[in-house]
A and B are shown apart, each in its own frame.
Chain A
Protein backbone atom coordinates (compact mmCIF):
# COMPACT_ATOMS: atom_id res chain seq x y z
CA UNK A 1 0.00 0.00 0.00
CA UNK A 2 2.59 2.48 1.03
CA UNK A 3 5.72 1.26 -0.61
CA UNK A 4 5.85 -0.99 -3.62
CA UNK A 5 7.37 -4.35 -3.03
CA UNK A 6 10.45 -4.63 -5.27
CA UNK A 7 10.81 -7.49 -7.74
CA UNK A 8 14.47 -7.89 -6.87
CA UNK A 9 16.37 -6.23 -4.09
CA UNK A 10 17.86 -2.99 -5.32
CA UNK A 11 20.96 -1.67 -3.60
CA UNK A 12 18.96 1.28 -2.34
CA UNK A 13 16.53 -1.05 -0.66
CA UNK A 14 19.12 -2.84 1.41
CA UNK A 15 18.94 -1.99 5.07
CA UNK A 16 21.90 0.11 6.02
CA UNK A 17 24.27 -1.24 8.59
CA UNK A 18 23.30 1.20 11.32
CA UNK A 19 19.67 0.17 11.13
CA UNK A 20 20.69 -3.46 11.00
CA UNK A 21 22.88 -3.11 14.07
CA UNK A 22 20.18 -1.25 15.90
CA UNK A 23 17.72 -4.01 15.18
CA UNK A 24 20.23 -6.52 16.47
CA UNK A 25 20.44 -4.46 19.63
CA UNK A 26 16.66 -4.52 20.10
CA UNK A 27 16.64 -8.24 19.64
CA UNK A 28 19.44 -8.71 22.12
CA UNK A 29 17.78 -6.33 24.55
CA UNK A 30 14.56 -8.20 24.36
CA UNK A 31 16.67 -11.12 25.52
CA UNK A 32 13.77 -13.49 25.23
CA UNK A 33 14.04 -14.10 21.52
CA UNK A 34 15.52 -17.58 21.81
CA UNK A 35 13.15 -18.54 24.54
CA UNK A 36 10.33 -16.88 22.65
CA UNK A 37 10.97 -18.78 19.44
CA UNK A 38 11.37 -22.06 21.28
CA UNK A 39 8.21 -21.39 23.24
CA UNK A 40 6.33 -20.43 20.09
CA UNK A 41 7.39 -23.65 18.43
CA UNK A 42 6.33 -25.57 21.50
CA UNK A 43 3.02 -23.70 21.40
CA UNK A 44 3.43 -22.32 24.88
CA UNK A 45 0.99 -19.55 25.71
CA UNK A 46 3.50 -17.23 27.29
CA UNK A 47 5.72 -17.05 24.22
CA UNK A 48 6.75 -13.43 23.75
CA UNK A 49 7.25 -11.94 20.33
CA UNK A 50 10.41 -10.06 19.70
CA UNK A 51 9.87 -6.54 18.45
CA UNK A 52 10.99 -7.47 14.97
CA UNK A 53 8.16 -9.93 14.53
CA UNK A 54 5.45 -7.88 12.92
CA UNK A 55 4.46 -10.72 10.64
CA UNK A 56 1.86 -9.02 8.47
CA UNK A 57 3.37 -5.57 8.64
CA UNK A 58 5.54 -4.41 5.81
CA UNK A 59 8.82 -2.92 6.95
CA UNK A 60 9.99 0.43 5.64
CA UNK A 61 13.32 -0.21 3.98
CA UNK A 62 14.83 3.23 4.23
CA UNK A 63 14.22 5.66 7.03
CA UNK A 64 15.91 8.91 7.78
CA UNK A 65 17.07 9.33 11.35
CA UNK A 66 15.52 12.28 13.08
CA UNK A 67 17.37 14.75 15.29
CA UNK A 68 14.22 14.81 17.45
CA UNK A 69 14.82 11.24 18.61
CA UNK A 70 15.58 10.69 22.26
CA UNK A 71 18.10 8.22 23.57
CA UNK A 72 16.06 6.09 25.96
CA UNK A 73 15.39 2.39 26.11
CA UNK A 74 12.61 1.45 23.73
CA UNK A 75 9.42 -0.12 25.03
CA UNK A 76 9.16 -3.71 23.86
CA UNK A 77 7.22 -4.09 20.63
CA UNK A 78 4.94 -6.66 22.26
CA UNK A 79 4.04 -4.22 25.05
CA UNK A 80 3.55 -1.24 22.75
CA UNK A 81 1.17 -3.23 20.57
CA UNK A 82 -0.81 -5.07 23.22
CA UNK A 83 -1.47 -2.40 25.83
CA UNK A 84 -3.14 0.82 24.82
CA UNK A 85 -6.40 2.71 24.68
CA UNK A 86 -8.36 2.64 21.44
CA UNK A 87 -12.01 2.62 22.50
CA UNK A 88 -13.08 1.96 18.90
CA UNK A 89 -11.97 -1.62 19.59
CA UNK A 90 -13.03 -1.91 23.23
CA UNK A 91 -12.42 -0.13 26.51
CA UNK A 92 -9.95 -2.61 28.01
CA UNK A 93 -6.25 -2.12 27.34
CA UNK A 94 -5.80 -5.49 25.68
CA UNK A 95 -9.04 -5.11 23.68
CA UNK A 96 -7.54 -3.13 20.79
CA UNK A 97 -5.08 -5.87 19.90
CA UNK A 98 -7.72 -8.55 20.33
CA UNK A 99 -10.47 -6.85 18.35
CA UNK A 100 -8.53 -5.00 15.67
CA UNK A 101 -7.03 -8.03 13.94
CA UNK A 102 -9.68 -8.27 11.23
CA UNK A 103 -9.73 -4.53 10.58
CA UNK A 104 -8.53 -3.71 7.07
CA UNK A 105 -7.11 -0.18 6.88
CA UNK A 106 -7.54 0.08 3.13
CA UNK A 107 -8.68 1.48 0.86
CA UNK A 108 -8.22 4.66 2.82
CA UNK A 109 -8.72 8.28 2.02
CA UNK A 110 -8.37 11.46 4.00
CA UNK A 111 -10.80 14.32 3.61
CA UNK A 112 -9.26 17.75 4.02
CA UNK A 113 -11.72 20.59 4.40
CA UNK A 114 -12.45 23.88 6.12
CA UNK A 115 -10.39 27.04 5.90
CA UNK A 116 -7.85 26.04 3.23
CA UNK A 117 -7.20 26.63 -0.47
CA UNK A 118 -6.92 22.98 -1.45
CA UNK A 119 -9.68 21.00 0.18
CA UNK A 120 -10.54 17.57 -1.14
CA UNK A 121 -10.59 13.88 -0.58
CA UNK A 122 -7.13 12.42 -0.93
CA UNK A 123 -6.29 8.80 -1.43
CA UNK A 124 -3.87 7.82 1.33
CA UNK A 125 -1.05 7.14 -1.14
CA UNK A 126 -1.47 10.58 -2.67
CA UNK A 127 -1.69 12.10 0.76
CA UNK A 128 1.61 10.53 1.78
CA UNK A 129 3.57 10.61 -1.49
CA UNK A 130 5.41 13.95 -1.11
CA UNK A 131 6.74 13.15 2.36
CA UNK A 132 9.97 11.29 2.99
CA UNK A 133 9.53 9.04 5.98
CA UNK A 134 11.76 9.21 8.99
CA UNK A 135 12.07 7.41 12.28
CA UNK A 136 11.54 9.43 15.44
CA UNK A 137 11.94 7.97 18.89
CA UNK A 138 9.50 9.79 21.16
CA UNK A 139 8.28 9.49 24.70
CA UNK A 140 4.57 8.76 24.97
CA UNK A 141 2.83 9.77 28.21
CA UNK A 142 -0.69 8.52 28.76
CA UNK A 143 -3.06 10.60 30.89
CA UNK A 144 -3.44 7.45 33.01
CA UNK A 145 0.13 7.91 34.32
CA UNK A 146 1.93 5.27 32.30
CA UNK A 147 4.45 5.91 29.55
CA UNK A 148 6.39 4.30 26.74
CA UNK A 149 9.24 5.08 24.36
CA UNK A 150 8.24 4.37 20.77
CA UNK A 151 10.10 4.63 17.46
CA UNK A 152 7.48 6.12 15.15
CA UNK A 153 7.72 6.29 11.38
CA UNK A 154 6.30 9.37 9.74
CA UNK A 155 6.87 13.06 9.07
CA UNK A 156 6.06 16.46 10.52
CA UNK A 157 2.35 17.23 10.52
CA UNK A 158 3.05 20.81 9.48
CA UNK A 159 4.67 19.67 6.20
CA UNK A 160 1.42 17.98 5.23
CA UNK A 161 -0.83 20.81 6.41
CA UNK A 162 1.09 23.40 4.38
CA UNK A 163 0.24 21.58 1.16
CA UNK A 164 -3.43 22.36 1.62
CA UNK A 165 -2.69 26.05 2.08
CA UNK A 166 -4.66 26.95 5.17
CA UNK A 167 -6.13 30.45 4.97
CA UNK A 168 -5.80 33.17 7.56
CA UNK A 169 -9.10 32.01 9.04
CA UNK A 170 -7.54 28.68 10.00
CA UNK A 171 -6.88 29.03 13.73
CA UNK A 172 -7.20 25.38 14.64
CA UNK A 173 -6.97 21.94 13.05
CA UNK A 174 -9.51 19.25 13.86
CA UNK A 175 -8.97 15.53 13.30
CA UNK A 176 -11.55 12.76 12.99
CA UNK A 177 -11.19 9.01 13.40
CA UNK A 178 -13.03 6.64 11.10
CA UNK A 179 -16.62 6.06 12.23
CA UNK A 180 -17.69 2.61 11.06
CA UNK A 181 -19.17 0.37 13.80
CA UNK A 182 -19.04 -2.64 11.46
CA UNK A 183 -15.27 -2.37 11.20
CA UNK A 184 -14.68 -0.83 14.62
CA UNK A 185 -16.90 -2.90 16.91
CA UNK A 186 -16.23 -0.74 19.97
CA UNK A 187 -18.34 1.96 18.30
CA UNK A 188 -21.45 -0.18 18.71
CA UNK A 189 -21.60 1.03 22.31
CA UNK A 190 -21.98 4.74 22.99
CA UNK A 191 -19.09 4.87 25.46
CA UNK A 192 -17.88 8.02 23.69
CA UNK A 193 -19.62 10.21 21.15
CA UNK A 194 -18.38 8.83 17.86
CA UNK A 195 -16.48 9.68 15.81
CA UNK A 196 -13.48 10.34 18.04
CA UNK A 197 -12.31 13.89 17.50
CA UNK A 198 -9.20 15.79 18.45
CA UNK A 199 -7.74 19.18 17.70
CA UNK A 200 -4.70 21.40 17.92
CA UNK A 201 -4.12 25.11 17.76
CA UNK A 202 -2.56 26.03 14.42
CA UNK A 203 0.85 26.88 15.89
CA UNK A 204 0.91 23.60 17.80
CA UNK A 205 0.05 21.71 14.64
CA UNK A 206 2.82 23.49 12.70
CA UNK A 207 5.43 22.69 15.35
CA UNK A 208 7.96 20.28 13.81
CA UNK A 209 7.67 17.84 16.74
CA UNK A 210 4.01 17.15 15.92
CA UNK A 211 3.98 14.29 13.47
CA UNK A 212 1.77 12.12 11.35
CA UNK A 213 2.79 8.50 11.75
CA UNK A 214 2.26 5.58 9.39
CA UNK A 215 4.49 3.12 11.18
CA UNK A 216 6.32 2.14 14.32
CA UNK A 217 9.36 -0.04 15.02
CA UNK A 218 10.38 0.20 11.38
CA UNK A 219 7.16 -1.28 9.97
CA UNK A 220 3.58 -0.26 9.14
CA UNK A 221 1.34 0.64 12.08
CA UNK A 222 -0.50 -2.33 13.56
CA UNK A 223 -4.29 -1.85 13.43
CA UNK A 224 -4.52 -1.49 17.20
CA UNK A 225 -2.05 1.39 17.15
CA UNK A 226 -4.04 3.48 14.71
CA UNK A 227 -3.37 2.17 11.20
CA UNK A 228 -3.01 3.49 8.63
CA UNK A 229 -2.47 7.09 9.73
CA UNK A 230 -2.31 8.65 13.17
CA UNK A 231 -1.17 11.74 14.94
CA UNK A 232 1.70 11.80 17.43
CA UNK A 233 2.06 14.87 19.63
CA UNK A 234 4.74 13.86 22.13
CA UNK A 235 4.35 16.76 24.57
CA UNK A 236 0.65 16.11 25.11
CA UNK A 237 -1.18 13.26 26.81
CA UNK A 238 -1.62 10.25 24.56
CA UNK A 239 -5.32 10.70 23.87
CA UNK A 240 -4.54 13.85 21.85
CA UNK A 241 -2.65 11.65 19.38
CA UNK A 242 -5.74 10.55 17.46
CA UNK A 243 -5.68 7.28 15.53
CA UNK A 244 -6.95 6.06 12.14
CA UNK A 245 -7.54 9.56 10.78
CA UNK A 246 -10.07 10.05 7.96
CA UNK A 247 -10.61 13.78 8.10
CA UNK A 248 -8.55 16.88 8.77
CA UNK A 249 -10.42 20.13 9.07
CA UNK A 250 -9.13 23.69 9.37
CA UNK A 251 -11.37 25.70 11.67
CA UNK A 252 -11.72 29.19 13.02
CA UNK A 253 -13.19 28.07 16.36
CA UNK A 254 -11.61 25.72 18.87
CA UNK A 255 -12.78 22.27 17.77
CA UNK A 256 -14.70 19.86 19.96
CA UNK A 257 -12.41 17.15 21.34
CA UNK A 258 -13.81 13.83 22.47
CA UNK A 259 -12.36 13.47 25.97
CA UNK A 260 -12.80 17.15 26.66
CA UNK A 261 -16.44 16.68 25.74
CA UNK A 262 -16.79 13.68 28.08
CA UNK A 263 -15.26 15.34 31.13
CA UNK A 264 -14.17 18.96 30.55
CA UNK A 265 -12.82 19.39 34.07
CA UNK A 266 -10.53 16.38 33.69
CA UNK A 267 -9.36 16.59 30.08
CA UNK A 268 -8.56 20.05 28.83
CA UNK A 269 -8.30 21.13 25.21
CA UNK A 270 -4.54 21.56 25.54
CA UNK A 271 -3.79 18.50 27.70
CA UNK A 272 -0.09 19.22 27.74
CA UNK A 273 1.85 16.82 29.92
CA UNK A 274 2.23 18.75 33.15
CA UNK A 275 3.34 17.22 36.46
CA UNK A 276 2.05 20.30 38.31
CA UNK A 277 -1.56 19.96 37.20
CA UNK A 278 -3.16 16.81 38.52
CA UNK A 279 -5.93 14.97 36.81
CA UNK A 280 -9.02 15.50 38.95
CA UNK A 281 -8.83 11.92 40.15
CA UNK A 282 -5.14 11.06 40.16
CA UNK A 283 -1.71 12.64 40.39
CA UNK A 284 0.30 13.45 37.28
CA UNK A 285 3.58 13.93 39.14
CA UNK A 286 4.83 10.46 38.36
CA UNK A 287 4.41 7.85 35.70
CA UNK A 288 5.10 4.18 35.28
CA UNK A 289 7.35 3.54 32.30
CA UNK A 290 6.03 0.30 30.87
CA UNK A 291 8.62 -2.36 31.67
CA UNK A 292 9.49 -0.85 35.06
CA UNK A 293 7.99 -1.73 38.43
CA UNK A 294 8.43 1.59 40.18
CA UNK A 295 7.28 4.99 39.00
CA UNK A 296 9.46 7.83 37.78
CA UNK A 297 9.04 11.61 37.76
CA UNK A 298 6.97 13.06 34.95
CA UNK A 299 8.70 15.85 33.05
CA UNK A 300 7.14 19.17 32.05
CA UNK A 301 5.82 18.88 28.49
CA UNK A 302 6.94 15.26 28.70
CA UNK A 303 10.56 16.35 28.46
CA UNK A 304 10.01 18.54 25.38
CA UNK A 305 9.82 21.85 27.26
CA UNK A 306 12.88 23.25 25.51
CA UNK A 307 11.20 22.87 22.13
CA UNK A 308 7.55 23.68 22.90
CA UNK A 309 7.32 25.83 26.05
CA UNK A 310 7.42 29.01 23.95
CA UNK A 311 4.09 28.05 22.35
CA UNK A 312 2.47 28.70 25.70
CA UNK A 313 4.38 31.70 27.00
CA UNK A 314 2.09 34.00 28.95
CA UNK A 315 -0.56 31.33 29.35
CA UNK A 316 -1.65 30.11 32.76
CA UNK A 317 -1.23 26.39 32.26
CA UNK A 318 -3.28 25.65 35.36
CA UNK A 319 -6.23 27.38 33.74
CA UNK A 320 -5.54 26.16 30.21
CA UNK A 321 -4.66 22.61 31.20
Chain B
Protein backbone atom coordinates (compact mmCIF):
# COMPACT_ATOMS: atom_id res chain seq x y z
CA UNK B 1 0.00 0.00 0.00
CA UNK B 2 1.19 3.45 -0.76
CA UNK B 3 1.32 6.13 1.87
CA UNK B 4 -1.77 7.76 0.38
CA UNK B 5 -3.62 4.46 0.50
CA UNK B 6 -2.69 3.87 4.14
CA UNK B 7 -4.12 7.23 4.98
CA UNK B 8 -7.31 7.03 2.94
CA UNK B 9 -8.06 3.33 3.43
CA UNK B 10 -6.96 2.78 7.02
CA UNK B 11 -6.49 6.01 8.90
CA UNK B 12 -9.50 7.79 7.47
CA UNK B 13 -12.11 5.11 8.30
CA UNK B 14 -10.53 4.68 11.74
CA UNK B 15 -10.75 8.42 12.34
CA UNK B 16 -14.35 8.43 11.08
CA UNK B 17 -15.30 5.97 13.81
CA UNK B 18 -13.11 7.64 16.43
CA UNK B 19 -14.75 11.02 15.95
CA UNK B 20 -18.14 9.46 16.61
CA UNK B 21 -16.98 8.33 20.05
CA UNK B 22 -17.75 11.62 21.87
CA UNK B 23 -21.31 11.47 20.56
CA UNK B 24 -21.59 7.79 21.45
CA UNK B 25 -20.36 8.45 24.98
CA UNK B 26 -22.77 11.32 25.39
CA UNK B 27 -25.64 9.20 24.12
CA UNK B 28 -24.60 6.40 26.45
CA UNK B 29 -24.62 8.73 29.41
CA UNK B 30 -28.05 9.94 28.33
CA UNK B 31 -29.48 6.42 28.11
CA UNK B 32 -28.09 5.46 31.52
CA UNK B 33 -29.32 8.69 33.12
CA UNK B 34 -25.77 9.75 33.81
CA UNK B 35 -25.59 13.26 32.35
CA UNK B 36 -25.50 14.87 35.77
CA UNK B 37 -27.99 17.15 37.47
CA UNK B 38 -28.17 19.48 34.48
CA UNK B 39 -28.20 17.26 31.37
CA UNK B 40 -28.86 20.16 29.00
CA UNK B 41 -25.77 21.95 30.22
CA UNK B 42 -23.70 18.79 29.87
CA UNK B 43 -24.90 18.22 26.31
CA UNK B 44 -24.34 21.87 25.35
CA UNK B 45 -20.88 21.90 26.88
CA UNK B 46 -19.72 18.60 25.42
CA UNK B 47 -20.97 19.22 21.87
CA UNK B 48 -19.48 22.73 21.92
CA UNK B 49 -16.17 21.53 23.27
CA UNK B 50 -15.88 18.84 20.58
CA UNK B 51 -16.83 21.28 17.83
CA UNK B 52 -13.97 23.51 18.99
CA UNK B 53 -11.50 20.66 19.45
CA UNK B 54 -12.19 19.29 15.98
CA UNK B 55 -11.97 22.74 14.44
CA UNK B 56 -8.51 23.11 15.98
CA UNK B 57 -7.63 19.61 14.80
CA UNK B 58 -8.67 20.66 11.29
CA UNK B 59 -6.45 23.71 11.56
CA UNK B 60 -3.61 21.48 12.76
CA UNK B 61 -3.60 19.29 9.66
CA UNK B 62 -1.74 21.67 7.36
CA UNK B 63 1.02 22.26 9.94
CA UNK B 64 1.13 18.49 10.47
CA UNK B 65 1.75 17.98 6.74
CA UNK B 66 4.51 20.56 6.77
CA UNK B 67 6.20 19.31 9.90
CA UNK B 68 6.14 15.63 8.94
CA UNK B 69 6.57 16.17 5.23
CA UNK B 70 3.66 13.78 4.70
CA UNK B 71 1.31 15.83 2.57
CA UNK B 72 -1.21 12.99 2.34
CA UNK B 73 -2.49 13.90 5.83
CA UNK B 74 -4.42 16.62 4.06
CA UNK B 75 -6.85 13.93 2.96
CA UNK B 76 -8.16 13.82 6.54
CA UNK B 77 -8.84 17.53 6.70
CA UNK B 78 -12.27 17.65 5.10
CA UNK B 79 -13.63 14.96 7.37
CA UNK B 80 -12.42 16.56 10.60
CA UNK B 81 -13.82 19.88 9.40
CA UNK B 82 -17.19 18.33 8.63
CA UNK B 83 -17.20 16.59 12.01
CA UNK B 84 -16.52 19.93 13.69
CA UNK B 85 -19.52 21.35 11.86
CA UNK B 86 -21.59 18.33 12.88
CA UNK B 87 -20.84 18.87 16.58
CA UNK B 88 -21.38 22.63 16.20
CA UNK B 89 -24.77 21.87 14.66
CA UNK B 90 -25.70 19.65 17.63
CA UNK B 91 -24.44 22.38 19.96
CA UNK B 92 -26.53 25.04 18.26
CA UNK B 93 -29.58 22.78 18.07
CA UNK B 94 -29.37 22.10 21.82
CA UNK B 95 -29.19 25.81 22.49
CA UNK B 96 -32.04 26.67 20.10
CA UNK B 97 -34.41 23.92 21.22
CA UNK B 98 -33.67 23.31 24.89
CA UNK B 99 -32.57 26.79 25.93
CA UNK B 100 -34.93 28.82 23.78
CA UNK B 101 -37.70 26.40 22.76
CA UNK B 102 -37.05 27.53 19.15
CA UNK B 103 -38.17 31.08 19.93
CA UNK B 104 -36.45 32.80 17.00
CA UNK B 105 -36.95 36.31 18.34
CA UNK B 106 -35.35 35.34 21.65
CA UNK B 107 -32.45 33.66 19.86
CA UNK B 108 -31.83 36.72 17.68
CA UNK B 109 -32.03 39.03 20.68
CA UNK B 110 -29.49 36.81 22.44
CA UNK B 111 -27.17 36.86 19.42
CA UNK B 112 -27.32 40.63 19.11
CA UNK B 113 -27.02 41.40 22.80
CA UNK B 114 -24.39 39.04 24.10
CA UNK B 115 -20.86 39.11 22.71
CA UNK B 116 -20.08 35.49 23.54
CA UNK B 117 -23.22 34.37 21.71
CA UNK B 118 -22.48 36.76 18.83
CA UNK B 119 -19.03 35.32 18.20
CA UNK B 120 -20.15 31.74 18.72
CA UNK B 121 -23.15 32.12 16.45
CA UNK B 122 -21.05 33.88 13.79
CA UNK B 123 -18.51 31.10 13.87
CA UNK B 124 -21.31 28.57 13.40
CA UNK B 125 -22.91 30.50 10.53
CA UNK B 126 -19.53 30.88 8.79
CA UNK B 127 -19.01 27.14 9.04
CA UNK B 128 -22.15 26.53 6.95
CA UNK B 129 -20.75 27.66 3.55
CA UNK B 130 -17.55 25.79 4.31
CA UNK B 131 -19.42 22.58 5.04
CA UNK B 132 -21.66 23.11 2.00
CA UNK B 133 -18.67 23.45 -0.33
CA UNK B 134 -16.77 20.49 1.04
CA UNK B 135 -17.37 18.34 -2.00
CA UNK B 136 -15.11 17.56 -4.95
CA UNK B 137 -17.66 18.57 -7.57
CA UNK B 138 -18.32 21.91 -5.90
CA UNK B 139 -14.62 22.60 -5.61
CA UNK B 140 -14.29 21.98 -9.34
CA UNK B 141 -17.29 24.20 -9.97
CA UNK B 142 -15.89 27.03 -7.87
CA UNK B 143 -12.34 26.66 -9.02
CA UNK B 144 -9.55 25.92 -6.58
CA UNK B 145 -8.51 29.51 -6.09
CA UNK B 146 -11.95 30.77 -5.13
CA UNK B 147 -12.57 27.72 -2.99
CA UNK B 148 -9.35 28.34 -1.14
CA UNK B 149 -10.20 31.98 -0.57
CA UNK B 150 -13.64 31.04 0.75
CA UNK B 151 -12.21 28.46 3.09
CA UNK B 152 -9.89 30.97 4.71
CA UNK B 153 -13.04 31.82 6.67
CA UNK B 154 -12.15 28.89 8.86
CA UNK B 155 -9.62 31.13 10.64
CA UNK B 156 -12.47 33.42 11.68
CA UNK B 157 -14.47 30.38 12.81
CA UNK B 158 -11.56 29.29 14.97
CA UNK B 159 -11.18 32.73 16.47
CA UNK B 160 -14.95 32.94 17.09
CA UNK B 161 -14.90 29.52 18.73
CA UNK B 162 -12.12 30.25 21.20
CA UNK B 163 -13.50 33.69 22.07
CA UNK B 164 -16.96 32.16 22.57
CA UNK B 165 -15.46 29.78 25.12
CA UNK B 166 -13.29 32.42 26.79
CA UNK B 167 -16.10 34.93 27.20
CA UNK B 168 -18.61 32.57 28.71
CA UNK B 169 -16.64 31.34 31.71
CA UNK B 170 -17.11 33.12 35.01
CA UNK B 171 -13.71 33.19 36.65
CA UNK B 172 -11.61 30.14 35.83
CA UNK B 173 -10.23 31.01 32.39
CA UNK B 174 -7.43 28.45 32.40
CA UNK B 175 -9.02 25.98 29.98
CA UNK B 176 -10.28 28.54 27.41
CA UNK B 177 -6.89 30.30 27.51
CA UNK B 178 -5.18 27.02 26.65
CA UNK B 179 -7.47 26.68 23.63
CA UNK B 180 -6.74 30.27 22.65
CA UNK B 181 -2.99 29.63 22.91
CA UNK B 182 -3.36 26.49 20.78
CA UNK B 183 -5.31 28.44 18.18
CA UNK B 184 -2.73 31.24 18.08
CA UNK B 185 0.04 28.67 17.81
CA UNK B 186 -1.66 27.10 14.81
CA UNK B 187 -2.17 30.53 13.27
CA UNK B 188 1.58 31.22 13.49
CA UNK B 189 2.02 28.53 10.85
CA UNK B 190 -0.15 30.56 8.49
CA UNK B 191 2.17 33.51 8.54
CA UNK B 192 3.99 33.49 5.15
CA UNK B 193 7.56 32.15 5.44
CA UNK B 194 9.16 35.45 4.49
CA UNK B 195 7.25 37.37 7.15
CA UNK B 196 8.00 34.62 9.59
CA UNK B 197 11.70 34.83 8.82
CA UNK B 198 11.61 38.58 9.38
CA UNK B 199 9.78 38.08 12.64
CA UNK B 200 12.37 35.49 13.59
CA UNK B 201 15.20 37.93 12.85
CA UNK B 202 13.55 40.55 14.93
CA UNK B 203 13.10 38.12 17.79
CA UNK B 204 16.70 37.00 17.53
CA UNK B 205 17.91 40.56 17.69
CA UNK B 206 15.76 41.16 20.75
CA UNK B 207 16.74 37.87 22.34
CA UNK B 208 20.36 37.35 21.39
CA UNK B 209 20.33 33.58 21.74
CA UNK B 210 22.81 32.90 18.96
CA UNK B 211 25.30 35.37 20.32
CA UNK B 212 24.98 33.78 23.71
CA UNK B 213 25.54 30.36 22.17
CA UNK B 214 28.60 31.60 20.30
CA UNK B 215 30.03 33.08 23.46
CA UNK B 216 29.46 29.81 25.28
CA UNK B 217 31.29 27.91 22.51
CA UNK B 218 34.22 30.29 22.59
CA UNK B 219 34.51 29.85 26.31
CA UNK B 220 34.77 26.12 25.90
Contact = CB atoms under 8 A, between A and B. Distances in A.
Interface residues of B, number: 22
B172 interface: yes
A45 B34 CA distance: 9
B136 interface: no
Interface stretch (B35-43, B83-91, B148-156, B209-217): B35-43
Contacts of A291: 37
B168 A93 contact: no
A293 B33 contact: no
A297 to B, nearest CB: 12
Q: Give the most central of B33, B167, B170: most A CB within 10 Å.
A: B170
Contacts of B132: none
Given A46-B34, A48-B33, A91-B171, A295 B39 contact: no
Interface string A129-142: 00000000000000
A83 B171 contact: no
Interface string B13-42: 000000000000000000011101111110
A295 B40 CA distance: 10
Contacts of A82: 36-37
Given A281-B168, A283-B110, A295-B99, A83 B40 contact: no
A1 interface: no
B116 interface: yes
Contacts of B171: 87, 91, 191-192, 262-263
Describe A's contact surface by its main secondary structure.
loop
Nearest to A45: B34
A46 B32 contact: yes
Contacts, number: 53
Nearest to B101: A294
A23 interface: no
Q: Give the most central of B34, B37, B40, B98: most A CB within 10 Å.
A: B37
A268 to B, nearest CB: 15
B39 A293 contact: yes
A45 B25 CA distance: 14
A290 B168 contact: no
Contacts of A263: 170-171
A83 B98 contact: no
Contacts of B36: 82-83, 93-94
Nearest to B28: A46
Given A46-B33, A48-B33, A281 B114 contact: yes
B38 A91 contact: no
Contacts of B167: 281
Nearest to A291: B37
Interface in A247-305: 262-263, 278, 281-283, 288, 290-291, 293-295
Contacts of B115: 281
Given A91-B171, A192-B171, A262-B171, A290 B32 contact: no
A143 to B, nearest CB: 9
A45 B31 CA distance: 13
22 contacts: A45-B34, A46-B34, A48-B33, A76-B37, A79-B37, A82-B37, A83-B36, A83-B38, A87-B171, A87-B172, A93-B38, A94-B36, A146-B41, A192-B171, A262-B171, A263-B170, A281-B114, A283-B110, A288-B38, A290-B38, A293-B98, A294-B101
Given A83-B38, A281-B116, A281-B168, 19 more contacts: A45-B32, A45-B34, A46-B33, A76-B37, A78-B37, A79-B37, A80-B37, A82-B36, A82-B37, A87-B172, A146-B41, A263-B171, A278-B113, A283-B110, A288-B41, A290-B38, A291-B37, A293-B39, A295-B101
Interface of A: 45-46, 48, 76, 78-80, 82-83, 87, 91, 93-94, 144, 146, 191-192, 262-263, 278, 281-283, 288, 290-291, 293-295
